[in-house]
Protein backbone atom coordinates (compact mmCIF):
# COMPACT_ATOMS: atom_id res chain seq x y z
CA UNK A 1 0.00 0.00 0.00
CA UNK A 2 1.30 3.43 -0.93
CA UNK A 3 0.72 6.56 1.11
CA UNK A 4 -1.11 8.13 -1.85
CA UNK A 5 -2.99 5.09 -3.16
CA UNK A 6 -6.29 6.14 -4.72
CA UNK A 7 -5.17 9.76 -5.15
CA UNK A 8 -4.85 11.63 -8.46
CA UNK A 9 -2.36 14.44 -8.98
CA UNK A 10 -1.77 17.09 -11.63
CA UNK A 11 1.82 18.30 -12.06
CA UNK A 12 2.25 21.25 -14.41
CA UNK A 13 5.47 21.86 -16.32
CA UNK A 14 6.63 18.25 -16.09
CA UNK A 15 8.12 17.49 -19.49
CA UNK A 16 11.86 17.94 -18.99
CA UNK A 17 14.24 15.03 -18.41
CA UNK A 18 16.14 17.05 -15.81
CA UNK A 19 13.31 18.90 -14.14
CA UNK A 20 11.49 19.34 -10.86
CA UNK A 21 8.14 18.59 -12.51
CA UNK A 22 9.25 15.21 -13.88
CA UNK A 23 10.89 14.24 -10.60
CA UNK A 24 7.77 15.23 -8.67
CA UNK A 25 5.48 13.25 -10.96
CA UNK A 26 7.60 10.12 -10.49
CA UNK A 27 7.86 10.63 -6.73
CA UNK A 28 4.08 10.96 -6.44
CA UNK A 29 3.62 7.80 -8.50
CA UNK A 30 6.09 5.97 -6.27
CA UNK A 31 3.85 6.87 -3.32
CA UNK A 32 0.82 5.44 -5.13
CA UNK A 33 -0.81 8.36 -6.96
CA UNK A 34 -2.00 8.35 -10.55
CA UNK A 35 -0.56 11.42 -12.25
CA UNK A 36 -1.65 13.83 -14.96
CA UNK A 37 1.37 15.58 -16.48
CA UNK A 38 1.18 18.86 -18.35
CA UNK A 39 3.45 20.60 -20.81
CA UNK A 40 3.19 23.04 -23.68
CA UNK A 41 4.36 20.70 -26.43
CA UNK A 42 8.00 21.79 -26.79
CA UNK A 43 9.61 21.66 -30.21
CA UNK A 44 12.04 18.67 -30.14
CA UNK A 45 14.56 20.81 -32.01
CA UNK A 46 14.89 22.91 -28.84
CA UNK A 47 15.59 19.95 -26.54
CA UNK A 48 18.98 19.91 -24.80
CA UNK A 49 21.54 17.40 -26.02
CA UNK A 50 20.95 14.89 -23.23
CA UNK A 51 17.24 14.71 -24.08
CA UNK A 52 17.99 14.26 -27.78
CA UNK A 53 20.49 11.52 -26.98
CA UNK A 54 17.87 9.39 -25.23
CA UNK A 55 15.07 10.25 -27.68
CA UNK A 56 13.18 12.05 -24.93
CA UNK A 57 9.54 12.83 -25.83
CA UNK A 58 8.64 15.52 -23.31
CA UNK A 59 5.56 14.70 -21.21
CA UNK A 60 5.12 11.35 -22.98
CA UNK A 61 8.45 10.21 -21.57
CA UNK A 62 7.55 11.45 -18.10
CA UNK A 63 4.29 9.49 -18.42
CA UNK A 64 6.31 6.36 -19.21
CA UNK A 65 8.29 6.83 -16.01
CA UNK A 66 5.07 7.19 -14.02
CA UNK A 67 3.68 4.00 -15.57
CA UNK A 68 6.93 2.21 -14.74
CA UNK A 69 6.00 2.80 -11.09
CA UNK A 70 2.77 0.89 -11.69
CA UNK A 71 0.51 3.96 -11.78
CA UNK A 72 -1.71 5.51 -14.42
CA UNK A 73 -0.42 8.56 -16.31
CA UNK A 74 -2.28 11.13 -18.38
CA UNK A 75 -0.07 13.45 -20.47
CA UNK A 76 -1.80 16.73 -21.36
CA UNK A 77 -0.63 19.53 -23.65
CA UNK A 78 -2.15 22.89 -22.71
CA UNK A 79 -1.18 26.45 -21.87
CA UNK A 80 -1.74 27.22 -18.19
CA UNK A 81 -2.62 30.85 -18.98
CA UNK A 82 -5.60 29.78 -21.14
CA UNK A 83 -8.68 29.56 -18.92
CA UNK A 84 -10.67 27.33 -21.27
CA UNK A 85 -7.71 25.00 -21.81
CA UNK A 86 -7.12 24.65 -18.08
CA UNK A 87 -10.78 23.86 -17.44
CA UNK A 88 -10.82 21.33 -20.26
CA UNK A 89 -7.69 19.64 -18.94
CA UNK A 90 -9.18 19.36 -15.45
CA UNK A 91 -12.34 17.85 -16.93
CA UNK A 92 -10.24 15.25 -18.76
CA UNK A 93 -8.39 14.34 -15.57
CA UNK A 94 -11.63 13.72 -13.71
CA UNK A 95 -13.17 11.87 -16.65
CA UNK A 96 -10.17 9.61 -17.32
CA UNK A 97 -8.63 9.18 -13.87
CA UNK A 98 -11.81 9.47 -11.83
CA UNK A 99 -11.02 12.39 -9.53
CA UNK A 100 -8.34 14.94 -8.64
CA UNK A 101 -6.75 15.36 -5.20
CA UNK A 102 -3.34 16.97 -5.60
CA UNK A 103 -2.15 19.98 -7.57
CA UNK A 104 1.51 20.88 -8.09
CA UNK A 105 1.79 24.38 -9.61
CA UNK A 106 5.24 24.06 -11.19
CA UNK A 107 4.92 25.62 -14.66
CA UNK A 108 7.27 28.51 -15.47
CA UNK A 109 8.91 29.88 -18.57
CA UNK A 110 12.52 29.02 -19.28
CA UNK A 111 15.32 31.32 -18.15
CA UNK A 112 16.32 33.76 -20.85
CA UNK A 113 16.20 37.39 -21.84
CA UNK A 114 14.05 38.24 -18.80
CA UNK A 115 17.26 38.15 -16.72
CA UNK A 116 18.30 41.67 -17.62
CA UNK A 117 18.43 45.21 -16.30
CA UNK A 118 15.08 46.96 -15.92
CA UNK A 119 15.71 49.54 -18.71
CA UNK A 120 16.25 46.65 -21.13
CA UNK A 121 13.44 44.37 -19.96
CA UNK A 122 10.85 43.81 -22.67
CA UNK A 123 7.36 44.58 -21.36
CA UNK A 124 5.81 41.62 -23.14
CA UNK A 125 8.42 39.25 -21.73
CA UNK A 126 7.86 40.61 -18.23
CA UNK A 127 4.14 39.93 -18.64
CA UNK A 128 4.74 36.40 -19.92
CA UNK A 129 6.95 35.52 -16.95
CA UNK A 130 4.28 36.75 -14.54
CA UNK A 131 1.40 35.26 -16.53
CA UNK A 132 2.75 31.71 -16.61
CA UNK A 133 3.72 31.59 -12.95
CA UNK A 134 1.00 33.74 -11.36
CA UNK A 135 -2.00 33.63 -13.72
CA UNK A 136 -1.24 29.99 -14.57
CA UNK A 137 -1.15 28.97 -10.92
CA UNK A 138 -4.35 30.92 -10.25
CA UNK A 139 -6.24 29.30 -13.13
CA UNK A 140 -5.06 25.79 -12.29
CA UNK A 141 -5.90 26.33 -8.63
CA UNK A 142 -9.34 27.71 -9.42
CA UNK A 143 -10.23 24.78 -11.67
CA UNK A 144 -8.77 22.31 -9.17
CA UNK A 145 -10.45 23.70 -6.06
CA UNK A 146 -13.89 23.72 -7.67
CA UNK A 147 -13.60 19.99 -8.28
CA UNK A 148 -12.04 19.25 -4.90
CA UNK A 149 -14.84 21.10 -3.12
CA UNK A 150 -17.35 19.03 -5.09
CA UNK A 151 -15.60 15.82 -4.00
CA UNK A 152 -15.64 17.08 -0.37
CA UNK A 153 -12.70 14.89 0.65
CA UNK A 154 -9.94 17.47 1.02
CA UNK A 155 -6.82 17.83 -1.07
CA UNK A 156 -3.25 19.08 -1.37
CA UNK A 157 -1.70 22.00 -3.23
CA UNK A 158 2.04 22.61 -3.49
CA UNK A 159 3.19 25.75 -5.28
CA UNK A 160 6.74 25.75 -6.63
CA UNK A 161 8.41 29.14 -6.28
CA UNK A 162 12.09 29.89 -5.61
CA UNK A 163 14.33 31.56 -3.07
CA UNK A 164 13.92 34.43 -5.56
CA UNK A 165 10.53 34.80 -3.87
CA UNK A 166 12.29 35.51 -0.58
CA UNK A 167 15.20 37.69 -1.68
CA UNK A 168 15.37 40.13 -4.58
CA UNK A 169 18.42 40.50 -6.79
CA UNK A 170 19.53 42.72 -9.64
CA UNK A 171 18.51 41.90 -13.22
CA UNK A 172 15.77 39.45 -12.18
CA UNK A 173 12.79 41.77 -11.70
CA UNK A 174 10.21 39.66 -13.55
CA UNK A 175 11.33 36.45 -11.88
CA UNK A 176 11.36 38.06 -8.43
CA UNK A 177 7.90 39.56 -8.99
CA UNK A 178 6.42 36.22 -10.05
CA UNK A 179 7.92 34.26 -7.17
CA UNK A 180 7.14 36.81 -4.45
CA UNK A 181 3.55 36.65 -5.73
CA UNK A 182 3.51 32.86 -5.38
CA UNK A 183 4.35 33.13 -1.69
CA UNK A 184 1.53 35.61 -1.07
CA UNK A 185 -0.87 33.45 -3.07
CA UNK A 186 0.14 30.43 -0.99
CA UNK A 187 -0.77 32.25 2.23
CA UNK A 188 -4.11 33.40 0.81
CA UNK A 189 -4.95 29.92 -0.46
CA UNK A 190 -3.98 28.36 2.87
CA UNK A 191 -6.27 30.65 4.86
CA UNK A 192 -9.18 30.18 2.45
CA UNK A 193 -8.87 26.48 1.68
CA UNK A 194 -7.63 25.14 5.03
CA UNK A 195 -11.07 25.08 6.68
CA UNK A 196 -12.28 22.97 3.74
CA UNK A 197 -9.59 20.36 4.31
CA UNK A 198 -7.21 21.48 1.57
CA UNK A 199 -3.58 21.63 2.68
CA UNK A 200 -1.48 24.31 0.90
CA UNK A 201 2.27 24.93 0.95
CA UNK A 202 5.03 26.33 -1.24
CA UNK A 203 8.53 25.06 -1.94
CA UNK A 204 11.29 27.59 -2.65
CA UNK A 205 14.31 25.84 -4.17
CA UNK A 206 17.73 27.37 -4.56
CA UNK A 207 19.98 26.42 -7.49
CA UNK A 208 18.93 22.99 -8.81
CA UNK A 209 20.74 21.08 -11.54
CA UNK A 210 17.93 21.10 -14.10
CA UNK A 211 18.06 21.78 -17.83
CA UNK A 212 16.52 25.23 -17.38
CA UNK A 213 19.71 26.20 -15.50
CA UNK A 214 22.14 24.98 -18.17
CA UNK A 215 23.17 28.52 -19.11
CA UNK A 216 24.53 29.24 -15.62
CA UNK A 217 25.32 25.79 -14.25
CA UNK A 218 28.96 25.48 -13.21
CA UNK A 219 31.05 22.53 -14.37
CA UNK A 220 31.60 21.50 -10.75
CA UNK A 221 28.38 21.76 -8.77
CA UNK A 222 30.25 21.31 -5.48
CA UNK A 223 33.34 23.48 -5.76
CA UNK A 224 31.59 26.26 -7.69
CA UNK A 225 28.51 26.55 -5.48
CA UNK A 226 27.24 30.05 -4.70
CA UNK A 227 29.43 31.87 -2.16
CA UNK A 228 28.01 31.65 1.33
CA UNK A 229 25.95 28.52 0.74
CA UNK A 230 26.74 26.24 3.70
CA UNK A 231 25.93 22.99 1.89
CA UNK A 232 28.46 23.31 -0.90
CA UNK A 233 26.54 21.92 -3.83
CA UNK A 234 23.52 22.51 -6.01
CA UNK A 235 20.36 20.52 -5.42
CA UNK A 236 18.94 17.77 -7.61
CA UNK A 237 15.51 17.50 -9.14
CA UNK A 238 14.93 14.27 -7.24
CA UNK A 239 15.59 15.95 -3.89
CA UNK A 240 13.04 18.66 -4.62
CA UNK A 241 10.55 16.26 -6.19
CA UNK A 242 10.70 13.86 -3.25
CA UNK A 243 10.12 16.73 -0.80
CA UNK A 244 7.15 18.05 -2.77
CA UNK A 245 5.64 14.56 -2.85
CA UNK A 246 6.16 14.21 0.91
CA UNK A 247 4.24 17.45 1.47
CA UNK A 248 1.30 15.69 -0.20
CA UNK A 249 1.22 12.93 2.43
CA UNK A 250 -0.70 12.87 5.69
CA UNK A 251 2.57 13.29 7.61
CA UNK A 252 2.73 16.89 6.39
CA UNK A 253 -0.88 17.81 7.07
CA UNK A 254 -0.07 20.21 9.92
CA UNK A 255 2.46 22.07 7.78
CA UNK A 256 0.17 24.66 6.22
CA UNK A 257 0.61 27.99 4.47
CA UNK A 258 4.39 27.71 4.57
CA UNK A 259 6.92 28.70 1.91
CA UNK A 260 9.83 26.40 2.67
CA UNK A 261 13.36 27.10 1.48
CA UNK A 262 15.14 24.08 0.03
CA UNK A 263 18.47 25.57 -0.88
CA UNK A 264 21.41 24.17 1.05
CA UNK A 265 21.11 27.00 3.55
CA UNK A 266 21.53 29.87 1.08
CA UNK A 267 18.53 31.72 2.57
CA UNK A 268 17.83 31.17 6.28
CA UNK A 269 16.16 34.41 7.33
CA UNK A 270 12.55 33.46 6.57
Give pLDDT, residue 169: 92
Q: Domain containing 250 — which CATH number?
A: 3.40.50.720
CA 46, 51, 53, 59 torsion-angle sign: negative
CB 161, CB 118: distance < 8 Å = no
Note the pLDDT tens digit of each residue in 224-238.
555 567 887 888 999
Which among 190, 76, 93 is positioned nearest to 151, based on CA atoms?
Answer: 93
Give pLDDT, residue 232: 78
Looking at residue 250, the DSSP 8-state letter turns out to be: G
Catalytic-residue membership of 175: yes
Note the pLDDT tens digit of each residue in 175-212.
999 999 999 999 999 999 999 999 999 999 998 888 77
- Kindly give the pairing relationship between strand 8-11 and strand 34-39: parallel
- Kindly give the pairing relationship between strand 73-77 and strand 102-105: unpaired
Domain region containing 158:
8-262
pTM for the model: 0.94
44 within domain boundaries: yes
Neighbouring-strand partners of residue 259: 202
Note the pLDDT tens digit of each residue in 48-106.
999 999 999 999 999 999 999 999 999 999 999 999 999 999 999 999 999 999 999 99
46 within domain boundaries: yes
Residues in Cβ contact with 23 at an 8 Å cutoff, skipping those fewer than 6 apart? 236, 237, 238, 240, 241, 242
Instruction: Classify the phi-psi angles of 9: left when phi > 0, otherwise alpha if psi is within -120 to 50, otherwise beta.
Output: beta
22 within domain boundaries: yes
Share of the chain above pLDDT 70, in %: 94
The pLDDT of residue 134 is above 60: yes
267 within domain boundaries: no
* Radius of gyration of the chain measured on its C-alpha atoms: 18
Give pLDDT, residue 106: 98
Query: Out of 56, 175, 193, 234, which one is annotated catalytic?
Result: 175
Q: How many domains does the chain have?
A: 1
270 within domain boundaries: no
Give pLDDT, residue 220: 59
1 within domain boundaries: no
Average pLDDT of the chain, as a whole number: 93
C-alpha span between 199 and 255 (Å, rounded): 8
Among the ranges given (147-151, 168-172, 222-226, 265-269), the one the predictor scored with the smallest mean pLDDT: 222-226
Amino acid sequence: MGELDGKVALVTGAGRLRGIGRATAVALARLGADVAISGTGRDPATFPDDEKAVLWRDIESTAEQVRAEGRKALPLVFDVVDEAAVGGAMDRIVAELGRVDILINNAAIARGEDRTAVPDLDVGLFQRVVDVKVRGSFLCTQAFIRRVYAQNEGGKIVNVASIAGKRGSADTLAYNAANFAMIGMTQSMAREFGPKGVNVNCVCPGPVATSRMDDVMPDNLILDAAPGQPVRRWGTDEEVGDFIAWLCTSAASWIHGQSINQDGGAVMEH
